[in-house]
Amino acid sequence: MDGRLLPGATVLVSVVEAGTIVRAAGSLNLTASAVSRAVARLEERVGVRLLDRTTRSLSLTDEGRNFYEAVKPHLAAIEEAALTASGTTSAVRGRLRVNIEPFLARVILARRMPEFLEKYPKVNLELLMRESLGDLVTDGFDLALKCGDPPPTTFIARKILETRVITVASPKYIARFGKPRSPADLQKHTCITLWDWASRRPYRWELRKGRRVVEATPSTRFLVSDVGAMIEACVAGTGIAQILALGNRNLIKSGALVELFPEWSDERFPVYVVHPSRRHQPAKVKAFIDFATKSIRQAAK
């Protein structure tokens, strides 16, 4: 093995995760020119171009992406091995970047973060709210937490749970416009629909009772792209909405929202954790997956 590959690989990973050579230089305590030279030397030794650089941006080439995906887990494993050998009391440390569904961040995990950060004081956590999964490796994420089935990918996707999809309205709305008696009545009411960034169209409404499925076509007067805004508008009496039971049970229990068709709520919506590799998984990733899984399942009870 060429021992000179390791320093170059470390620099390349830092550049990809930082997003720019200047930011990577700051984290490595090097000059930007030194980082550029290290990447150039690595490319010369590997024999292929790994980064496409312009004055304003940089991106991995196909060969660079393959190299990065293969190397990053091993660098994390080397770091953990060093921590273990040195007798460090906890290997759960370092920068942890999580691509998270905005709904999961706001409604469930944000309020529980003090517990995680207190338990793992050597972790620098970045919860970045994004609607789409994207490319975790290229975007520098360690893992993702997403609602809905993930798109076809080579990443590891594990289902945490499934939650009910329920149709709700506020008492204020019902008092003004009446309560629909069946899914067919939704066409006569104002409905709040949610934009689906993946399909680039509003989410389709389905109501299920056992094997029976009714695809509702609500009258859409109010379209939003944020789940939190949809729920707030529904509580305010703007219209009828379909929401997840996960994280919203308190709104039903308190009477802020009324479930309209309990017998038509057999549709299930999954929550997944997605990460690049099952092998050489850093301790910080394992710790966060365990914490998030426990928190989300507790919120579903």
CATH fold of the domain at 5-85: Arc Repressor Mutant, subunit A (1.10.10)
> In the numeric block, which tokens belong to residue 205?
């409404």
- The percent of residues in the chain predicted with pLDDT above 90, rounded, is 31
Range 49-56 contact pairs with CB under 8 angstroms and sequence separation of 24 or more: 50/12, 51/12, 51/15, 53/21
CA distances from 21 to 35, 63, 97, 251 (A): 7, 19, 19, 47
Indicate the domain borders of the chain. Answer: 5-85, 94-160+271-299, 162-269
The token pair at 236 is 């305010």
Nearest-angstrom CA–CA distance, 205 and 71: 43
- Is 162-269 a CATH 3.40.190.290 domain? yes
pLDDT tens, residue by residue, 249-268 = 899 999 999 999 999 988 89
User: How far apart, in Å, are the Cα atoms of 189 and each of 186, 207, 275?
Assistant: 5, 16, 41
Which structure tokens are listed for 233?
């508008």
Rg (C-alpha) for the chain, rounded Å, is: 24
Same topology for domains 5-85 and 94-160+271-299, yes or no? Answer: no
* Per-residue pLDDT at 126 exceeds 50: yes
DSSP for residue 149: P
In the CATH scheme, what is the homologous superfamily, with its name and number, of domain 94-160+271-299?
Answer: Periplasmic binding protein-like II (3.40.190.10)
Banded model confidence at residue 203, pLDDT cuts 50, 70, 90: confident
pLDDT of residue 5: 79
Task: Work out the pLDDT band at 178, boundaries 50, 70, 90.
Answer: very high
